[in-house]
Structure 1
Amino acid sequence: MKISVTIARIIVGVLFIFSGLVKAIDPLGLTYKMQEFFEVWGREGYATIMMNWMYNHSFLFSIIMIALEVVLGVALLAGFYKKLTLRLLLWLMIFFTFLTSYVLFSGKIATCGCFGDCIPLTPIQTFTKDIILLLLIIFLLFKQQYILPVGKGFLPLVLVLLSIMGVSMLQMHVLQHLPLTDCLPYKKGNNLLELRKMPPNAIPDQFEYIFVYQKDGVKKEFTPDKLPDSTWTYADRKQTLIKKGSNNVPKINDFSLTDTTGADVTESVLGQEGEYYLFFLKELDEGSSKWSGDFTALWQKSKQQKRPLYIVTADKDKATVFFNTNNNGIPILTCDATAIKTAARANPTLFLMKGPVVQNKWSWADIKEALK
């Protein structure tokens, strides 16, 4: 029995630590995933006021959740306050199982983000994993007498404290800079234009179409191969999914650039020869003073190098006022806020591009590196 308990303890502890660390290298990824859940639940009418409040505090929840996963995993392996640790793990696992079951059975959210963007799992895989972990934690609760502390004295406490400090410092670092490992489609070396295309082995969804025509006040449905004559007037079209396709969504499907006139300039900007900069700015906030000086130096350097510099923002009006006041003549392009959140985990983030290929990326805290 001791061997079984030890194996279960190691599996649960290591998986919780691993799951937390994978998300800790990109805590904003979990924030956005939480916002997706709260937004869907609020839209469905489940405690809308509370969901809106939780949506606005998703960042704090993600930081706490990530730290809790790592710390509880370490506490279990160290044998620190085993009864409290196992109860917290149980409640956390019940919550995770609820989330993954909702993803699996509702179909309203594509993935749960259990292992972040670096290790994507299907809904059935995540649900199965959670059921197994839930059973292992229940087993450990019943056999907790076999869980002994690692070492003597204050060692378990020291290990837990070190885990709290370590995961907190890791999250603080990547929030100021960029994720340690970039697993998103906009990572260094990727061709953004190619990733906007449909995958070569895509299988499209198949739909059934019914056309509604009317004549003399009477509406009637027709299939595409049996449309009525010209005496009938078109009224509506109904579309029904009859067979779901696969691999038919581009890895980058929401990224487009529009200029001040509203024209789509994605192909012309990304398709140009030579090097240029894309300065992604989701929104202007009070922290703009932290990077405005470095940005001015970057603007001057880009002119000396004859490298075009573009502002890519979701808040065109504020950006126009700010940059036209401080740095005249910079082209300002508009992009969807969700696409910017995916492309630029820090606000703002600087891309060095060569044609459609990402050459390098820097957060606002590292713009000085781009000036060297």
Structure 2
Amino acid sequence: MTLFSLFIYVGIAAMLLTFLIARAYKKSISIPDSFLQNFAGCLFIFSGFVKAVDPLGTAYKMEQYFTAFEDTCKGSFLKFLAPVFPWFSQHAISFSVFMIVLEIVLGIMLIIGYQKRLGSWLFFAIMVFFTVLTGFTYLTGYVPTDANFFEFSKWTEYNKNQMRVTDCGCFGDFIKLEPKISFFKDLILMIPALWFIFRWKHCHEIFSPVIRTGITFVSTLALCLFCFSNFVWNEPIIDFRPFKNGVNIKTTLAAEQKAMADVEILAYKIRNKIDKHELEVPAKDFLDSFKNNPNFKASWETLDQIKSEPKIPRTKISDFEILYLDGNPATESFLDETKYNLVIISPKVKYTSVSIKEERLDSIFRMDTILIKMKKKDSIRIERVFAGTEAKTIKRNKYEWNEDYLKILKTSILPLLDSVKDLAMSSAIFGALTEEGIADLKQAAGIDFPCYEADDLLLKTIMRSNPGLLLIQNGQIIQKWHYKQLPDPTELKNKYLNGHGTKIY
């Protein structure tokens, strides 16, 4: 779905609501005001809902914004604000739920006409907030990575690779909008925001004041519970992410890689080294000039390549990469595994660590040459002989793992994996942990199967639960479980392992 088609559907819904309200209340409403109320309300309800099914996704997006704002403030006249953003990052999920519930409830308030003046100002405030976010996202495309946002003299031509946040997250993972489109979308929505400020008295009201209050109160409570259910107690009820159940990571990854390899260079953007004049030259002309004109290379520098769009859009699956603990690639062997594989996914493990020094005795050996007398010919043998011990001081990290996390592994996940070990193999993928840390965690939790490491952002995209359980076979995702919604062994065997998995001994 595109933004244009979404606006069409929202517009149709708004017209239908306006027609019904006009029929019910005869001539007591203003059609233009009522239509804008319903349009803005429906859009906010839909936009909030697709984020409410995955509040953690919005929280992760807000963390990216807070980090970008912190970096921007540190290098500018706003540096006194920089310490605020790490605190916001720590409470990103609370901020996410608050904004999602506010957005949907505000949409409901607009449609029913509850607290018209308050609703108008809230709509204006939230649109200013969204416009700042999307505007910052878009405008950082003009800011070189080594420059601060407020160093306007260093701004260059727009380059999407320079953006501090790649997309706004306005519609969660349902629709990924280009930052420019998202920014101008919010500028357009500022029109009804300003309209409501001056025309709030002309907005319609439906139902009685008591019913409007009840609808708003009940909606707020229900939406809070709905948001919590999609990350505290379960995985998102609707999965808009690329790693949804049924997706084959192996085939999708191969298709996306092929599509990227088939991308053609259409033109080159070049700049004259002397007068700084920039041109966009077709690829054929550029290559001909580069080959046949000796002065071309000396006079012009290449700024960018203009490429065709890949036939298959690139998703986060293209970033799928897991590593063995020694750093070697493990992606291919992991995806090629034909047995059922129950995988613990853990983007981030809570722990504390301190560096300690330990005294250890190190054995010392010397090499001795022994002459062996023989009747015909003497021979020489070199032997390794123990020569004593030497005290050595070594540094290592001492880890204290989160007790709740270990309890989840020891009492819920690992016993389940052990109960089906004859039907499915087990493994684990951890993010943001070193080889030393994973080895220590394996010992602390009693994990005796292969473990891998991966980027924590990738794992957050695959699984919202931390830890969570993934069932995969031959690269295809069969099912994902929140650690609070794990199946019992019988259900796992009969429903997901089909009762006849490849036996492993």
Query: Shorter-chain TM-score: what band?
Result: 0.7 to 0.9
The answer to whether residue 69 in structure 2 is matched with residue 9 in structure 1 is: no
Q: Is the 8 A contact 2:117 2:200 kept in 1?
A: yes
Match of 1:59 in 2: 93
Identity of aligned residues (%): 25
Match of 2:275 in 1: none
The answer to whether residue 204 in structure 2 is matched with residue 144 in structure 1 is: no
Shift in Å, 1:81: 1.4
Shift in Å, 1:179: 0.7
Q: Which amino acid aligns with 1:75?
A: M
**Greater mean deviation of Cα atoms: 162-171 or 33-42:** 33-42
Q: Equivalent residues in 2 for 1:257-268 (5 A)?
A: 257-268=322-333
Q: Which amino acid aligns with 2:411?
A: G
Q: Is the 8 A contact 2:48 2:104 kept in 1?
A: yes
Q: Distance in 1 between matches of 2:216 and 2:124?
A: 19
Match of 2:418 in 1: 300
Match of 1:40 in 2: 68
The answer to whether residue 269 in structure 2 is matched with residue 241 in structure 1 is: no
Match of 1:183 in 2: 240
> CA, structure 1 residues 137+367, in 2 after alignment: closer, same or farther (shift >3 Å)?
same
Q: Equivalent residues in 2 for 1:69-80 (5 A)?
A: 69-80=103-114
Question: Larger strand proportion, structure 1 or 2?
Answer: 2
Q: Distance in 1 between matches of 2:249 and 2:327?
A: 21
Q: Which amino acid aligns with 1:17?
A: I
Q: Distance in 2 between matches of 1:55 and 1:134?
A: 28
Shift in Å, 1:168: 0.4
Q: Equivalent residues in 2 for 1:22-33 (5 A)?
A: 22-33=50-61
Q: Which amino acid aligns with 2:345?
A: F
Q: Which amino acid aligns with 1:186?
A: F
Q: Is the 8 A contact 2:339 2:473 kept in 1?
A: yes
Q: Is the 8 A contact 1:284 1:319 kept in 2?
A: no
Shift in Å, 1:67: 0.9
Q: Which amino acid aligns with 1:193?
A: K
Q: Which amino acid aligns with 2:446?
A: N
Q: Equivalent residues in 2 for 1:111-150 (5 A)?
A: 111-150=167-206
1:193 to 247, 250, 253: 250
Q: Which amino acid aligns with 2:88?
A: M
Q: Which amino acid aligns with 2:175?
A: I
Q: Is the 8 A contact 1:195 1:250 kept in 2?
A: no
Q: Equivalent residues in 2 for 1:155-234 (5 A)?
A: 155-175=211-231, 176-197=233-254, 198-200=257-259, 202-203=262-263
Match of 1:279 in 2: 344
Count, aligned residues: 349
Shift in Å, 1:239: 7.2
TM-score normalised by length of structure 1: 0.85
Shift in Å, 1:312: 0.4
Shift in Å, 1:311: 0.8
Shift in Å, 1:272: 1.4
Q: Distance in 2 between matches of 1:148 and 1:208?
A: 54
Q: Distance in 2 between matches of 1:350 and 1:83?
A: 48
3-state secondary structure, aligned to 2:419 = helix
Q: Is the 8 A contact 2:117 2:201 kept in 1?
A: no
| Consecutive unaligned residues in structure 1, runs of 5 or more | 210-222, 227-237
Shift in Å, 1:224: 8.3
The answer to whether residue 288 in structure 2 is matched with residue 254 in structure 1 is: no
Match of 2:5 in 1: none
Q: Is the 8 A contact 2:34 2:204 kept in 1?
A: no
> CA, structure 1 residues 331+62, in 2 after alignment: closer, same or farther (shift >3 Å)?
same
Q: Is the 8 A contact 2:324 2:330 kept in 1?
A: yes
3-state secondary structure, aligned to 1:243 = strand
Q: Distance in 1 between matches of 2:129 and 2:258?
A: 35
Q: Distance in 2 between matches of 1:290 and 1:78?
A: 45
Q: Distance in 2 between matches of 1:49 and 1:296?
A: 40
Shift in Å, 1:166: 1.4
3-state secondary structure, aligned to 1:253 = helix
Shift in Å, 1:158: 0.4
> CA, structure 1 residues 310+290, in 2 after alignment: closer, same or farther (shift >3 Å)?
closer
2:115 to 45, 65, 81: 81
> CA, structure 1 residues 364+204, in 2 after alignment: closer, same or farther (shift >3 Å)?
farther
> CA, structure 1 residues 38+225, in 2 after alignment: closer, same or farther (shift >3 Å)?
farther
Match of 1:310 in 2: 427
Q: Distance in 1 between matches of 2:342 and 2:268?
A: 42
Q: Distance in 2 between matches of 1:172 and 1:371?
A: 28
Q: Distance in 2 between matches of 1:371 and 1:130?
A: 51
Q: Distance in 1 between matches of 2:333 and 2:408?
A: 32
Shift in Å, 1:174: 0.6
Shift in Å, 1:13: 1.0
**Greater mean deviation of Cα atoms: 73-82 or 190-199:** 190-199
Q: Is the 8 A contact 1:195 1:251 kept in 2?
A: no
Match of 1:234 in 2: none
Match of 2:461 in 1: 342
TM-score normalised by length of structure 2: 0.64
Q: Distance in 2 between matches of 1:43 and 1:245?
A: 33
> CA, structure 1 residues 4+250, in 2 after alignment: closer, same or farther (shift >3 Å)?
closer
Q: Is the 8 A contact 2:242 2:315 kept in 1?
A: no
> CA, structure 1 residues 331+41, in 2 after alignment: closer, same or farther (shift >3 Å)?
same
**Greater mean deviation of Cα atoms: 242-251 or 359-368:** 242-251
Q: Is the 8 A contact 1:207 1:239 kept in 2?
A: yes
The answer to whether residue 28 in structure 2 is matched with residue 19 in structure 1 is: no
3-state secondary structure, aligned to 1:365 = coil
Q: Which amino acid aligns with 1:163?
A: S
| Consecutive unaligned residues in structure 2, runs of 5 or more | 1-28, 142-162, 271-288, 293-300, 351-401, 492-505
Q: Deviations over 1:198-239 (max 9, x none)?
A: 252652667789xxxxxxxxxxxxx9869xxxxxxxxxxx97
Q: Which amino acid aligns with 2:97?
A: I
Q: Which amino acid aligns with 2:247?
A: N
3-state secondary structure, aligned to 1:277 = strand
